[in-house]
Chain A
Amino acid sequence: MRTAREGEAALGRGPVSPERADGWATLRALAELRWRLLLRRLRGPGGVPEMVARVALYVIAIPAGLAFAALAAVGSFQAVRAGRGLQASVPIAALFFGVWQTWTVVALSISERDALDLRRFLVYPIPPRRVFGYGLAASLAADPFAAFWCLLLAGTFAGAAAARPGAWLALLAIVLAAFVAATVGLVALLQELLARLLRGRRARELLIAAVYVGVALLLAWTAGHPGAILRLLRDARALRWLAYPAALAEGAVRELYAGRALAALPWILALVAAVGATAWAAYRLALAAARAGSAGAPRAAATGEGGWPLPGRVGALVEKEAKYLLRHPIATLLALVLPPFAALVAWKVPPRMPAEAGEIVRVLPVLGFALYAHMAAQVFWLNAFGWERGGGRIWFLAPIAPAEVLLAKNLAAYGLSAGLFAAAAAAAIAVGGALPGWALAAAIALHAGIAPWLLAAGNFVSVLNPRAAANTVQRGGSLSPLSSLAGMVIVSAAAAAFAIPVVVAVRRDAPWLLVWGWAALGMAGAIAYRVALPFAARLVVRRREPLLAAVAGDEE
C-alpha cells in the first residue's frame, strides 16, 4: 500500500500549486472566464441585439458625459483661476457632492453592479480579496453610468490643467482617482451592509418601519411650519461627513486649486486611507456573506390557512407576485433609499430654482419622482419572469391563462412603484413643505397614467428577452443590456409624450392642464394596455420554450 507522501508525490504533477494560481495568471483566467461567458451569450439567441444594446448604452453615455465634461472643465478652469473664495469653493463642492450623490443613488437603485459572485470562487485556490477587487474594477469598467461620471471628472482635470499647468496636477489626478475608488468602494459597502441588514426579516421590517415612522414624525412635526426641516438640515454641517469621499476630495481640491499643495496632503492621505478602509470593510462583509451560505430563513406562513383574501386565480397570482416583490431585497432597498433621496432633492433643489421659474417648474422634482418610482422598479416590469426559476414551469403546467399571469405581475409591480412613490412624495413634502392641490393631483395622475404604457411595453420585453436574475441586492444581471436599452427607450418615449401637457401648461400658465392632460393620456394608456395584453399573452405561449430555457435553466 502507498504511503500518503508517495500518493502526494504521484499527484504532485497534476494539480496547480496555490503559488502558481496567484498573480496575473489568476487575473487572466478570471478575465477570460468573463470574456467567454460574454461571447457565449452574444453568440446565443438574441446575442446580436444584446451586443448592439451594450454598445448603444455607451454611445448614449459617452457623448452625454463629454457634453457635461465640457461644462465641468469650464467650471474647473474658472475655479482654478479664482483660486479661493466662493467662485472656487462652490463649483468644487457642487462637483464632488453632486457626482457622489447621483453616483451612489443611481448605483444603488438603477445601475447594474456587475460584480463577481465571491461564493462561486471560494472553491478555487484564489485569494478572495483578489476576486473581490477584480469584481469592483470590472463593475466600474462595465457600467455606462460610471463612464459618464469618470468623463465628468476627466473634464474637471482638463479644465484645471488648462488653467494652471504644473506638477500639482499629479496630486489632482490622485485625488480624482481616489475619489472614484472611494465612491465605488462605498457603494459596494452600502450594498453589503444593506444585504446583511435585509437578510433577517425582523431587521428588514424594523429598518423600513424606522424610515417610515421617521417620515411620518417629520410630517407631523413640520405641519404648519414648512421649511423647518430645511433650516435644521442647513445648520447640520456635520452631515457632510456621511459623504466622506466627496467631503475629503472637496477639501483636497480646494487646497490644490488655491495653490496650497502641502495643505492638501492631509486631505489626500485621509482620502487614500478612506479608500483602503472602505474597500476592506466591504470585502470583509462580502466574504462573510459568501461563507455564510444562503440567506437566513424569513419565517413565512407555516400552515395552509390564511393567505390574502383576494378572489379567484388572479387573486392567488397577485398574492404570489406581491410576496415575491416584497421579499426581494431590491424592493426593500428601494423602500429605504428613495424617501431619503426625495428628501435630499426637496432640500437641495427648490431653493436653488429662480423665483421667476414659475409654479409648475418648482414642483417638477416631485413630479420627477412619479416617473422615477417606475424607473426604480423597472427590473420587475422589464424582466417579470426573471425570478421564477423552476416555478416558471407552473405557468404552462397549470390551467391558467397567460394574460392573468401578466396582469398579476403588472398589478404587483405597479403596487410596489405606487408605494415607493407615495413614500418619496411624503418625504419630499416633510422636508420641502406642502404641495399645492393641483401638484399632488398631477403627480398622482402622472404616476398612474404613465404606468399602463410602461407595463404594456414592459410585458413584451419580459417575454422576448427574459433573463434569470439573482435574488440579491445587487442589480447586476437582473436585466440584460438589451432590456436596459429597451427600458430606456420605453421610458424616454413615454416621458416625451407626457411632457407635452407640461409644455402646454407652462405656456398657458394653467397648472390644472397637467392633471387633465395626464389623466387623458392615462385613459388612452389603459385602453392600449387592454389591447396589448392578449398579444403579450399569446407571445408567452409562443415563446414558452426560450422563456423557460432562460429563467428555469441554470444561473450563469
Chain B
Amino acid sequence: MTLAIETEGLTRLFDGRAAVEGLALSVPAGAFYGFLGPNGAGKSTTIKMLTGLLAPSSGRARVLGLDLDRDPLGVKRRIGVVPDGLALFERLSGAEQLRIHGQLYGLDRRESGRRADELLAVLELASEAGKLVGEYSHGMKKKLALGCALIHGPQLLFLDEPFEGIDAVAVSGIRRLLQDLVARGAMTIFLTSHVLEVVERLVSHVGIIREGRLAAQGTLAEVRGALSLEEVFIRTVGEERGEVRGLSWLGEGA
C-alpha cells in the first residue's frame, strides 16, 4: 500500500508540554482521511507540522514519499492546504487572490487566471470576484481558501475544519466537490472536522487523536464497527460530562 502521509514519533512541545506526542499516522494514497479529536487534542498542530507551519520538536514525517524535513519545498509544491484561520490576503480581490496564489505555486499568469475563473464559477463566487477578500463572509472565505488550495492541482489536500462556521448549503457544495475529487482519484484528502455526521458520510479512513496521542486509526468500517462514528468518538475520547450548573444570577438560581 502506497502511503500519502507517514509519520513516526512526531512530537511537538509547547513550553515543555506535549501538544502532539509520538504520532504514527499512516494515510493511504487516494484515501479520504478524517482526523478527529476534541478541542485542543492536537489536530491543528498535526496539520501545521505536516504542512510546514510548525516545526516538530522530534520525530519524522514523509509526505507523498518525500521527507518533510529534507525537502520542504518539494512537499509544498505537491500539497494544497486550507489551514485553520485560513491563509488569505484580505486586501486582494477574490479573483486576484486565486490568480496570485496560483502564480506563487509556479503557474504562469495566464494559466493561473484561467483556472481562477474556472474555480470562481465552480465555487459560485464569480459574482463576488471583484470584492476584497476582507469583505467576504466567512463561508465565502472558506470556499475561496478551498479554491486556493486546489488551483495548482495538488496530489494531497489538507483541510482544517473546512465546514466550521458555514451554512448547510455551502457544506453540501463543498462536500460534493471533495467527494468528486476523491472518486476521480485526483487526490488524497486529509481532513479535520467537528461535524461528525458529515465526516461519516465522506471519509474512507479515520484517525482519532486524544491529548496529543493517536487513540484509533484505520478504515471507517474498522474504527466504527457496529456503532455510529459519534458513539465511537465519544467513547474513545472519554468526554462524558455531568449536569450543567446554573448561573446564580439568572433564572431560578438567582
Contacts and interface: CB of A to CB of B under 8 A. Distances in A.
A303 B92 contact: no
Interface stretch (B199-207, B210-218, B246-254): B246-254
A393 B117 contact: no
Contact of A300 (B77, B87, B96, B98): B96
A393 B83 contact: yes
A198 B189 CA distance: 43
A307 B99 contact: yes
Contact of B90 (A389, A396, A544): A389
A192 B52 CA distance: 41
Interface string A304-332: 11110100010111011001100110000
Contacts of B55: 544-545
A236 interface: no
Interface stretch (A9-17, A58-66, A176-184, A530-538): A9-17
A399 B77 contact: yes
A9 B207 CA distance: 51
Interface string B84-120: 0111111111011011110111100100111111001
Contacts of A10: 250-251, 254
A87 B86 CA distance: 65
A393 B93 CA distance: 18
Contact of B86 (A305, A320, A390): A390
B93 A397 contact: no
A399 B106 contact: yes
Contact of B113 (A307, A390, A545): A307
A351 B103 CA distance: 53
A10 B96 CA distance: 54
Q: Chain A at the B interface: mostly helix, strand, loop or mixed?
A: loop
A399 B107 CA distance: 12
Contacts of B81: 397
A277 interface: no
B100 A302 contact: no
Interface in B36-59: 51-55
Contacts of A324: 89, 91-92
Contacts of A394: 87, 89, 101, 104
A482 B197 CA distance: 49
A27 B142 CA distance: 40
Contact of B95 (A13, A295, A303): A303
B91 A328 contact: yes
A3 interface: no
Given A397-B53, A397-B76, A297 B117 contact: no
Contacts of B114: 304
Given A391-B88, A399-B73, A304 B93 contact: no
A393 B95 contact: no
B77 A303 contact: no
B8 interface: no
Given A301-B93, A388-B89, A397 B52 contact: yes
B76 A399 contact: yes
Nearest to A328: B91
Given A300-B132, A397-B53, A545-B54, A323 B91 contact: yes
Contacts of B77: 399
A552 B85 contact: yes
A475 B93 CA distance: 24
B134 A390 contact: no
B113 A305 contact: yes
Interface in B51-82: 51-55, 73-74, 76-77, 81
Interface in B209-254: 249-251, 254
B83 A304 contact: no
B135 interface: yes
A394 B113 CA distance: 19
B182 to A, nearest CB: 22
Given A300-B130, A304-B112, A399-B106, A391 B100 contact: no
Interface string A49-87: 000000000000000000000000000000000000000
A303 B115 CA distance: 10
Contact of A304 (B86, B89, B120, B135): B120
B129 interface: yes
A234 B173 CA distance: 68
A321 to B, nearest CB: 10
A297 B135 contact: yes
Contacts of A299: 93, 130-131
A391 B90 CA distance: 7
A131 B99 CA distance: 42
Interface string A371-395: 0000000000000000111111110
Interface of A: 10-11, 13-14, 294-295, 297-307, 309, 313, 315-317, 319-320, 323-324, 327-328, 387-394, 396-400, 471, 544-545, 548, 552
- Which 8 residue pairs spanning A and B have beta carbons closest together? A304-B116, A302-B130, A316-B103, A300-B93, A304-B113, A393-B87, A391-B89, A14-B249
6 contacts: A294-B134, A304-B95, A315-B103, A391-B88, A392-B87, A399-B76
